[in-house]
Structure 1
C-alpha cells in the first residue's frame, strides 16, 4: 500500500486522532509506525487486542499507564558505558513502577470479574519483569525529582554534612562583616553572594583594600568589587574541596547505578516494548469509545459490509450514516449523483474503514459490520468538480489509473472517483466502462463514482455489478448525503429549474428534446427511488415492531419465571403448614393413645390392635392435595432446577432416576437404570427425596427408625426415658409388621436400662415371652422377645 494512497484516504489524519489517546511517547511511536496488516491472522490478533482494551475500559473506565517513559535511549547509553543522569534514573524507575502497577491492576481485575476475558493483555503483563531490586536501589539513592539522596552512601552523607558546616562557618563570618559599623560606608549592599562558586561580599571600589582577600568579579560600572575577604579564604577553600569530593562521590554512585541498569538492560528493553504495546492497545480502545465503534467480524471472502457507517473525520453533527456493502452478490458498485452529494465521502469511507479494520481499529458503524483483508487498496480520488478541466488533469488521472491496472488482482480493493471525467463525455464514458470491465474481469472489489448517464445502465448489463446513488431533496434543493443502493442517480435539472422559477414552456421544450429512451429511464429511476424510500420506511417500521416484540417477549418470560417461583414458594409454604398441622394432630393423638393405654392398664376394655391401627393411621396421614394443586405442584417442579445427585421421576418412561450433571440450558444428563440419557427440564419431575448435600460438607443423619421396621432395636447410648418410649413404639410397629421374634439390644452397662426394658416387656400385652440372648446373640446385653 503506497504512501500517496494512504494520504488520499486520509489515513494519517485518522492516526492523528488516534494519537490523542496515548499516554506516553512509546505509544506515539507505535502509532507513528502503524500500517495496515496484510495477513488475516495479524488483523485478527490486532482486533482481539483492541477488544481486550475495550473490555478493561468497560469494567474499570481506564488503563493505568501513568509514569511510562520512553527509556530506550537511556538503556542504549548505559549499555555503551555512558554514565546516566539522575533524571534518567527517575524515568527508569517510574517506568518499572508503572509496569508493576499495571500488572497488579490486570491481575486484580481478572480476580474480581469472573466474566471478563482479556487473554492478550494478561499475557503481556505476565511477561513484565518486576525488577524489584533495581527499583529499590534507585529509589534509595535518587529522589523523585532527580536529586541524589544523602542516603545513597555513607561517604556522601559525611561529605554533605561537612559542606553544611563549612557553609555555615563562611556565612557566619561574612554576616559579621555585614553587621559591622563601617559596613554601610564600605559595602555597596549588605548581602552575601557567590562568584566562581565562592562566597563574596560587594565592596565599593574605594575600599577594596579594607578587607584584604581575593577579588572575583566587578560590576558593569566598575564601582563595585565582589571580594572574598581574607578571613573566609580558608573556610571557602575547605568548602570547595568538600564540594569536589561530593561531585566525585555522586559520579561514583551514578556509575554504579548505571552498571545495575545495564545488567538489567535486556529485561528493561522487554518491559519497554510491552508497555509500548499496552499503551497502543489502550489508545485503540479509547479511540473506539470516542467513535462508538464496534469490532468488525473478519472474513476471507473479500466481503465488506459497513452498516450505518460514519466517517470518523466528519463532525458528529455533520455526518450522515450510510450503508455500504460489496463482495457478496456484487463485486462492483457504481455510485452516481449530483456534485457535493456525498459520492466522494462514500468512496473514502469504504477505503478508510478497510484500512482501519486492517490496522486493528474498531469501526464507527452499527453492529454486525464485516471487513476483509486486501493485499492492496488502490485509490484514484481527486477534485474533479471544477468546470476548468484541462488535458493535463485528465492525463494525470489516467496515468494513475494505468499504474493501478498494472497491479490490480483479485486481492485488491479499487476506488475510482469520477472515472473518465476531464475529457469528452462520450469518450470518457466509454473509457469508464472499459476500465470497470477490466477491474471486474480481474475479480477485484471495485467502487466507482461518476457523472455519466451512460453508466447508469452499466449495472443492468453486467453480472456482479450494482448501481447506487446519493439522494437529492428537490424540495430543499440540497443533497441528503444518503446512499441508496440498487437505485441509479437521476438528473434533477428539470425539477431544480422548475423549483427556481424557470418558465414551464422552456422546461417543456427541453423535455421534448430528450430522447424517448432517456425519458423512460428517468421515469424508471424516479419510480425506483420512490419504491426504495417506501421500502426503507417499511423496513424501519418492521424493525421497530420487532424490537418491541422482543422486549415484550423478554418481559413476559421474566414474569412467567417469577410466577413459577411464586407458585413453588406458595406450594412449599402450604405443604409446610399442612405438615405442621398433621404433626400437631399426631402429638395430640399420642397423648390420647397414652391415656387410653393407661386406662387399659387400669382394667378398662381397650383392644390393643385398635391402638396400633390408630397410631399407624396418624403416621400415614400426610396432607392430601387437590387435583388442581397437584398440577400446580408438577408445573412448579418442572420450572425448578435440578442438582447433580438429585432423584427425579421421568413420566415419559414411568421410571425414577437421578441427575448426573447439567448438560446445558434447561437440559440434564439423567441415569435411568443402566441407561444414561439427556433430558429437558420439562421431562423431569421432582420426587420426595431430599436434594443431595453439596460436596465438601459432611452429612449427619438423625438417629431413629426407618420407614421399614427392622428385626432389631439398638438402644445403646440412649437416655432411659427415650429408650422406654422407643421400645414401646417399636413393639407396636413390630406387631403390626407381623414379626414373631425381635431383638432389643440394651447393653450391659449399669443394668438400669436392661431392668427397665425387662419391666416394660413384662407388662406389654403384645409380648408373649422374653429371654436373654445366647452366646452368639450378645448375652445379657440383648433381650430376645417373642411376640403374640
Structure 2
C-alpha cells in the first residue's frame, strides 16, 4: 500500500525533498531526490536510515565526496555497446564519470577499517584506470583530439602545418610586394571555404591571376586564391580529408573501448548516483541539526525536542510529544495561532522523512514507527471550482481517509468538525474519532469544541493536550501540555485587547452553565498545573544541587582513599627498602665474621679481631638505626645506686621531662611519677635520678627537703659524689641554660686544678644539648679546643675539651 501524493503534499514532504535535491551534486541524484517516496516496511526504513547515518558519520570525519557535474551517460554507453561511434563531447563526459568513480573509490580507502552499511555499495564501484588513461591521452577538449591520439594523426597534422606555413609565406611575400600592393584592398591574408586568399580591388581582378572564391557585399572587393598557392591549398585539403578519416577511426576505437566496459560503467554510475543521494541526505541532516531516530514497527511515536524542518530554527520552539504508548488518540485544544497545526504537521512530516531514510530534526532518544498510511486533513482546502464549502472540503477528505484507514495508519485531523453548527460538528467529530479508533488507528486531532475535550476526559485511551498560551503577553508559547485540556481564552484575549467589559460579561451570561462550569474546571486545572510546574522546577533545581554536592563528596572521599592507599603503599615500599638494607648489611657482617674465623691462626689475628669487633659493634648500631624507621630518643642507663623513693627528682627519658616520684619502688620495680599535671607509672630502672641540693618538693601535700653531697674538687655533677672522676661532668637531663652554667662551674674548677683535658657528658638524644654546649665552648676563654668523642670514649654522646 502506498501513501497518496496528496497527503505527502499537505504535510509538505515535497518541500523537504526540494531542499534535499539542492544538496545533490549531479542531475540524476537531484531527480531521484525529488521522486523519493516513503517506504512502508520497518526493514526498508532501517536499511535506508543506516545508509544515511553512516554517510553522515563518515563525512563528519573525512569530509564529503561529490559527483560534481557528472552527466547521465547511460544512453552514450548503450550506443557504444551496440557499436556506434561516439562524438568527442560524449567521450569527454564518460571520461569525467570515470575520474569521479575513481576518486570516490579513493575517498573510501580512508575508512577501510570501519565497517559501514555503505560498504556494499562502495564494493560495487569499479575503477577503469586503463580506459580513463586512453581517453585522457586522446581527447584535448570538447572539439579536438590530441596529436598523441595516434602517430598517423600526428604526422598528418605536421604536414598540414607545414603546407599552411608555406602558403602563408608565399602570400605574405605577395602582399608586401610593391607591384601587388596597389591591387589589394587590404594587405592581409584571409580564408574562404577553407582556402587561403587575398582581398583584391574589383577593378584589378584581372591583374591578379587566380581563382575567385568570394565577393564582398559591396562588390568592391573580390577574394582571389593566387595560382601560385592553388596546388599547396589543394594539398592542405587532401591532408584535412585524411585527418578527418583518422579522427573518425580513432573515435571509433575509443567508442569500442568504452562499449566493452559499458555495462560495468553503467552499474558503477548507478551506484555513484545512489551514493550522491545518501551524502546529500547527510548534508541536509547537518543543516537541520538532525539526529537518527529509533525505528520501530509497533506504531509508537516519541519525539523529544522536535522541530518543523521548514520553519526558521531561531523562531521554532521544540516540542515533546508521544502517541501510541499510553494512549492511541491525542486531542489537542487551545486558541488559534497557538501552534496546533504546526504540531500536527511536525509529527506527520517527521514520520514521512524517517520513512524516506532522512534523519529528523529532533533530539537523540526520539523514536518513530513505520506506518502503511500517513493520512491528513489539514488546512482549508475549499475548492471554488467544485463549489465546496470549508465543511464540505473537510468532509470529502475525511471520507477518503475512512476508505483507506486501517490498523497501521497515522491519522492527523485539523479542526475536526469545524465549519458547521457547533453541536452537530462536535457530535460528528466524536463519531469520526470513534470509527477510526475501532480500526485501531493512531490519531491526533485539533479542536475548539468543549464536547470533544469532555469526551477525551471520559474515554480510556484518549488524552487531552493543549498548546500553552500566555494571556498576559497575548502570545503562544508553543509548548505542548499532554493531559491538560486547553482553553480558547476568547474572553481573556478580548479583555486584554480592550473590548468593553459589559460586552464580555453579557457574553459570559449567554454561555450555558454546563459549559461555564467545564471552562472553570479547566481554568482551575491550568492554574494548579502552573503552580505544580513551578514547584517541580524549584524541587528539581534543589535536587540537582544536592546531587552535585553528593558527587563532590563522593569524589572527595575517593580522592582521600586513593591518597591513603598511596601513603600506605609508600610506607610499604620504604619498609621493604629498610628490610633489604638491613638484610644486606647483616649478610655483609656474617661474611666478615666467616673471613675472620678462617684467619684465626694468623700472626696479627688479635689486631684484626679488635678491628672486626669495633666494626661489628658499629655495624650493629647502624642496623638498629636502619631497622627502626621511627627515630626515638636514645635511652640512657639509670645512674642511681639505690632504690627510688618518694620525693626523688627523676628524668623520664620517654618524655625528656623532669618529674617527682610519688611512691616508693614496689616489688615489681615500678614507681608512680608526676610530671606537671601528668601522672604515670614507670619502671624505676628506666628513670634517671636527678641530684639537687637544697631542693624542696611537695609530695602528696607534704614538703620534702634534701641536700646533695659536694666535694672539694669542684662539686656539681662532676664531683666524686657523682661516682665519676674530677675530669668529667655529666649534664644529661638538664635544660640548656642549666647545663651551660654547670659546665662553666666545672671548667673554672678544672682550670684552678691545672687539669688539661676534660670530658663533658651530654648524651646523644636529639643533639640539641650537644650543639648548645659546643657553641658555648667556642666562645669560652679557657678552652683551647674541643672535639666530639670517638669509639670507646662515648662517640657523639660526649665532647672532649682541651683547656689552656
Q: CA deviation at 1:105?
A: 2.1
State how 1:586-665 maps to structure 2 within 5 Å: 595-600=592-597, 601=599, 603=605
Q: Give the distance between the partners of 1:263 and 1:122, measured in 2 at CA.
A: 26
Structure 2 partner of 1:771: none
Distance 1:177 1:566 in 2: 106
Partner of 1:57: 59
Task: For residue 211 of structure 1, report the CA deviation from its aligned partner.
Answer: 3.0
- What are the residue-to-residue correspondences of 1:238-257 with 2, within 5 Å? 238-257=235-254
Aligned residue in 2 for 1:401:
398
SS in 1 for 2:178: coil
The CA deviation at 1:562 is 8.0
Name 1:226's counterpart in structure 2. 223
Contact kept? 1:336, 1:451, Cα under 8 Å:
yes
Secondary structure of the equivalent of 1:306? strand
Question: Corresponding residue for 1:272?
Answer: 269
Q: Does the CA contact (< 8 Å) of 2:323 and 2:442 recur in 1? A: yes
CA offsets per residue over residues 665-694 of structure 1, 9 Å max, x none? xxxxxxxxxxxxxxxxxxxxxxxxxxxxxx
Task: Name stretches of at least 5 consecutive residues in structure 1 with no aligned partner.
Answer: 112-116, 627-788
CA 465–615 in structure 1, closer or farther in 2 if over 3 Å, else same: farther
Displacement of 1:486: 1.9
Number of residue pairs aligned between Structure 1 and Structure 2: 619
Partner of 2:139: 142
In 2, Cα distance between equivalents of 1:4 and 1:169: 73
Other structure's SS at 2:118 match:
helix
Residue in structure 2 matched with residue 101 of structure 1 by the alignment: 103
| Deviation string, structure 1 residues 510-544 (Cα, Å, up to 9, x no partner) | 22222222122112222333344445556666776
Confirm or deny: 8 A CA contact 1:339 1:385 kept in the other structure.
no
Correspondence list, 1:80-159, <5 A: 80-111=82-113, 117-143=114-140, 147-159=144-156
* Structure 1 position 435, deviation (Å): 0.9
Shift of 1:311: 0.7
| Residue of structure 2 equivalent to 1:442 | 439
Q: What SS class does the counterpart of residue 333 from structure 1 fall into?
A: strand
Structure 1 residues 572, 96: closer, same or farther in 2, change over 3 A? farther
Provide the TM-score with structure 1 as the length reference.
0.71
Distance in 2 of aligned mates of 1:520 and 1:120:
59
Q: Which residue of 2 aligns with 1:170?
A: 167
Pairwise CA RMSD: 3.7
Alpha-carbon distance in 1 for matches of 2:32, 2:437: 37
SS of alignment partner, residue 298 of structure 1: strand
Report the equivalent of 1:371: 368
Q: Is the 8 A contact 2:382 2:390 kept in 1?
A: no
d(CA) in 2 for partners of 1:376, 1:492: 35
Unaligned runs of 5+ in 2: 631-804
Are positions 1:520 and 2:522 aligned together? no
Check the 8 A contact 1:11/1:352 in 2, yes or no: yes
Matching residue of 2:37: 35
CA displacement at 1:425 relative to structure 2: 2.0
| Alpha-carbon spacing, 1:337–1:245, altered in 2? closer, same or farther (3 Å) | same
Matched, 1:466 2:490: no
Q: Which moved further from structure 2: 589-598 or 323-332?
A: 589-598
Higher-Rg structure is: 2
- Report the Cα distance in structure 2 between the residues aligned to 1:331 and 1:431, rounded to whole angstroms: 19
Give the stretch that moved more between structures: 457-466 or 597-606: 597-606
- Residues in 1 aligned to 2:381 and 2:594: alpha-carbon distance in whole angstroms: 116
Match of 2:313 among 311, 316, 333: 316
How far apart are the structure 2 equivalents of 1:385 and 1:42?
37
- Superposed CA deviations along residues 47-71 of structure 1, whole A, max 9, x for unmatched, are 1111101111221232354464432
Decide whether the 8 Å contact of 1:579 with 1:622 is kept in 2: no
**Following the alignment from structure 2 to structure 1, what is the Cα–Cα distance between the partners of residues 536 and 52?**
33
What is the CA-CA distance between 1:321 and the residue it aligns to?
1.6
Match of 1:260 among 248, 251, 257: 257
The aligned counterpart of 1:290 is 287
The offset of 1:7, in angstroms, is 1.2
Shift of 1:124: 1.5
Q: 1:201 to 1:343 in 2, by over 3 A?
A: farther
Aligned residues of 1:384 and 1:422 also touching (Cα < 8 A):
no
- Residue 22 of structure 2 aligns with which residue? 20
SS in 1 for 2:246: helix
User: 1:44 maps to which residue?
Assistant: 46
Where does 1:748-787 land on structure 2 (aligned, <5 Å)?
A: none
Give the TM-score of the pair, scaled to structure 2. 0.70
Counterpart position of 1:636: none
CA distance in structure 2 between the partners assigned to 1:466 and 1:229 by the alignment: 100
CA contact (8 A) 1:55 1:118 kept: no
Q: Is the Cα contact below 8 Å between 1:590 and 1:615 reproduced in 2? A: no
Preserved contact between residue 308 and residue 322 of structure 1 (Cα < 8 Å): yes
Moved more, 188-197 or 254-263: 188-197
- C-alpha displacement of 1:458: 2.0
CA gap of 1:550–1:622, structure 2 versus 1, over 3 A, is farther
Shift in Å at residue 13 of structure 1? 0.6
State yes or no: 1:501 paired with 2:503. Answer: no
Q: How does 1:60-71 map to 2 (within 5 A)?
A: 60-66=62-68, 68-71=70-73
Equivalents in 2 of 1:122, 1:129: separation in Å? 13
Deviations 1:16-59 (A, max 9, x none): 11112112123213212211001110000001111101111221
Distance 1:229 1:316 in 2: 77
- Correspondence for 1:354: 351
Is the partner of 1:282 in helix, strand or coil? helix
